[in-house]
Amino acid sequence: MNDEPLILTPFETLRCLVIDDDRAILELVDAMLRMAGVGSVIKSTSCLAALNVLADNRKKVDCIICDHSMPNMTGIELLREIRAGHYAHVSRDVRFIMITAHGQEAVVKAAVGLDVSGYIVKPVSKNALVKAIHRAFNRTAPLKAPEDYSGVPLPD
């Protein structure tokens, strides 16, 4: 872990998109974000539905908090598509925090290769969520070329 002091992110102006197919987790993360003072939270139960939200110019987001294990499109697949620049309406460098039920090595390796901004293993706590957001906004590493992300192997 990095022991550098974090620059605190102004949560009151933050706009987060939370994606999880488990409605209980979705509501829990939403409540934690609101308790932490996040200005706007948009919820989605799938990556495909989230793409519709992201396509709406009136609903700009600063941070995506996404579960990995979901049907049709996983969180890792969404992250790879965003980093590779496949969606003109989504900034390639949007902060992306992955939530997963287990820290499987293949998932962690793919997430790191895709420059994930943060990684949280369930059960999610408010403290872990707040720290992950602050770390995500303190990260300054430049993105790689879009084609580099397209080549990152995805876990089975």
Model confidence, pTM: 0.92
User: Is the distance from CB of 45 to CB of 55 less than 8 angstroms?
Assistant: no
Q: What is the pLDDT of residue 1?
A: 46
Residues of the chain with pLDDT > 70: what percent?
95
Q: Which CATH superfamily is domain 11-149 in?
A: Response regulator (3.40.50.2300)
**Following DSSP, what letter does each residue of 92-112 receive, concatenated?**
TT-EEEEEESS--HHHHHHHH
Q: CB under 8 Å to 71, separation ≥6 — which residues?
A: 21, 46
Residue in the structure block whose two tokens are 């579960």: 67
pLDDT tier at 31, thresholds 50, 70, 90: very high
Q: CB under 8 Å to 151, separation ≥6 — which residues?
A: none
Q: By three-state DSSP, how is residue 27 classified? A: helix
Q: Give the Å distances, CA to CA, from 94 to 89, 117, 125.
A: 11, 9, 22
Please tell me the chain's helix, strand, coil percentages from 3-state DSSP, rounded to the nearest 5: 40, 15, 45
pLDDT tier at 78, thresholds 50, 70, 90: very high
Residue 4 has pLDDT above 70, yes or no: no
Which residue, among 68, 64, 18, 63, has the nearest Cα to 45 in the 3D structure? 18
What is the per-residue pLDDT across 82-134, written as a single tens digit (0 to 9) for each? 999 999 889 999 999 999 987 788 898 999 999 999 999 989 999 999 999 99
